[in-house]
Chains A and B, each alone.
Chain A
Amino acid sequence: MRWLAALLLLFAGAAQAQQPRLVTDLSQSRIDISYRFAGAELLIFGAIQYPGGVVPSEPPGIAVILRGPVEPITVRKKARIAGIWVNTEALRFESAPGYYAVATTKPVRDLLDERNAAIYEIGLRHLQLSPATAADAETTGRFQEGLVKLRVSEGLFVEQPYGVQVTDRILYRARLPIPSAVPVGNYQAEIYLISDGRVRARSTAPVIIDKTGFERSLYVFAQDHGFLYGLFAVALAVAMGVAAGQIGRRA
């Protein structure tokens, strides 16, 4: 039996050797949010290793994705009631990423078919947000579109159809913008090598976005000891008010 296992391993190795591989690195694997944080840019770059070092004649298709932590959200839609705009409809999505950026070598629809794009969640139109409420496809589509549009305007959803640069069909790089209002948490960078409408190779790298230093301490303090934090806020406000009064009286 041992020779069979060895043979299988050999075949597996050979099969792997025929598939291209992706090598990836990031400009930083940790983004610290300090008082000076006003957004950042993540550079994702790497190389494609072709089997036998043979570079194909076709330029490779690459999709680079940075995905933030998912959370449940409620999307509401306003309608006019008696002249006033009031939230009337709501739809809950169980798994909406707080941040999602995708850069590709060409528009997603030219790279992949709908099915494969949906499987790998490549492109803003193909995010799987798990709508929780029983709603028809048309309503879900409308709300998902509204959500995507809002997040895009906040810079939290990004789609760059020609955002990946490829050099000599081997080296690739993409710069993804991260706004200051980015949620903290564990992120994942995913890189896909695509040819003939199919994913040929995939590589991932973790990214951590977290507050640091004073900002982090203050945030943690506010979360864990709300009452003490409140007392501290009141004391600070009173102290500043009293100091202002003293200065004003002297002036």
Chain B
Amino acid sequence: MGWIVDLYLPIAEMSVNALVIIGLGALVGFLSGMFGVGGGFLTTPLLIFYGIPPAIAVASSATQVTGSSVSGAYSYFRRGQVDVKMGAVLVAGGLMGSVLGSFLFRWLKSLGQIDVTIGLIYVLFLGTVGGLMLKEALATLKAQRAGQAPPRRGRRHHPLVAALPMKMRFPRSGIYISPLAPFLVGAGVGILTVIMGVGGGFIMVPAMLYLLGMAAGVVVGTSLFQILFVTAAATLLHATQSQTVDILLAALLLIGGVAGAQLGARAAMRLPPEKLRLFLALLVLAVAVRLAIGLTWTPKELFSIQTALA
């Protein structure tokens, strides 16, 4: 039986159990179909945990996110739920961010601090976003129990954003702000895409809602639009600079992810949205806690080997 599932990955230069990788993709796909997130923030740590070299895990996960976001981006686009003008600014920022990120990545790698940096960024972002989501989900549930309408947050952008010059109209998003603000948001997410192999939706969506104050109807579609282009750019950067994209690995993840996403979307229909948000918040926090433990507990092996880099 072994030869049916053991598959040698030519770029990662190791043999993996294809069923495990497909299953991993399916698990992430299920969660992403259920919660409407890309799932890159789960794929990269899980692949590294399985034993895939971190650089390969990051690059191939970005490729997988491209594939898993394309269908969603297209269906939001057809329904007119993508602000293309805003999306273009975010993509432009994302492209700059991804180039910046690739330099940052190489610099940190030469210092030997890339893994700990990735870990810290994950804990910081997932912890913050998960905590905020949990707080909001619990407040909503509490309000519902008490029989009140959920508290509505006023849609207004952050005062810092309002202070930026060269304001521009984004009719689809219903805002009048400086394009610098979404450009910087896109750039920040682009850096994360290259360094961590994530789409960055879990940061971009809150930023669009609470920082930029965009209309809720176009937020998810526009975020997917940015993710599609920026993860594709990240794939190209990794492929040209470090040859770390493993097509077979990405394809296996996608095969699993496709099936998982369908099931996840169906499961999501049975659950009320407040509960879904609560579960997502708990999941995000669980990943953050797991990674924080990894950073602070005494590792089994204090030594590590880095090859091929001067």
Residues of A within 8 A of B (CB): 33-39, 71-80, 83-87, 90, 98, 143, 146-147, 149-151, 153, 180-181, 183-184, 211, 214-216, 218-219, 222-223, 226-227, 229-234, 236-238, 240-245, 247-248, 251
Contact = CB atoms under 8 A, between A and B. Distances in A.
Nearest to B310: A72
Contacts of A39: 15
Contacts of B305: 73-76, 147, 150-151
A85 B262 CA distance: 40
A83 B295 CA distance: 8
A150 B75 CA distance: 48
B304 A150 contact: yes
Interface stretch (B133-141, B196-204, B233-241, B271-279): B233-241
B240 A218 contact: no
Contacts, number: 184
Interface string B202-246: 000000000000000000000000000000100111111101010
Interface residues of B, number: 60
Contacts of A242: 70-71, 74
Interface SS of chain B: helix
Nearest to B114: A87
A183 B71 contact: no
Contacts of B14: 180-181
Nearest to A36: B3
B107 interface: no
Interface of B: 2-3, 6-8, 10-11, 13-15, 63-64, 66-72, 74-75, 112-113, 116, 120, 232, 235-241, 243, 245, 247-248, 250-251, 254-255, 257-258, 261-262, 265, 295-296, 298-299, 301-310
A222 B8 contact: no
A215 B120 CA distance: 35
B36 to A, nearest CB: 14
Nearest to A78: B302
Given A226-B239, A230-B239, A35 B302 contact: no
B254 A150 contact: no
Nearest to A81: B116
Contact of B71 (A72, A74, A150, A241): A241
B254 A234 contact: no
Given A36-B8, A85-B116, A238 B66 contact: yes
A245 B68 CA distance: 9
B134 to A, nearest CB: 24
Nearest to B2: A38
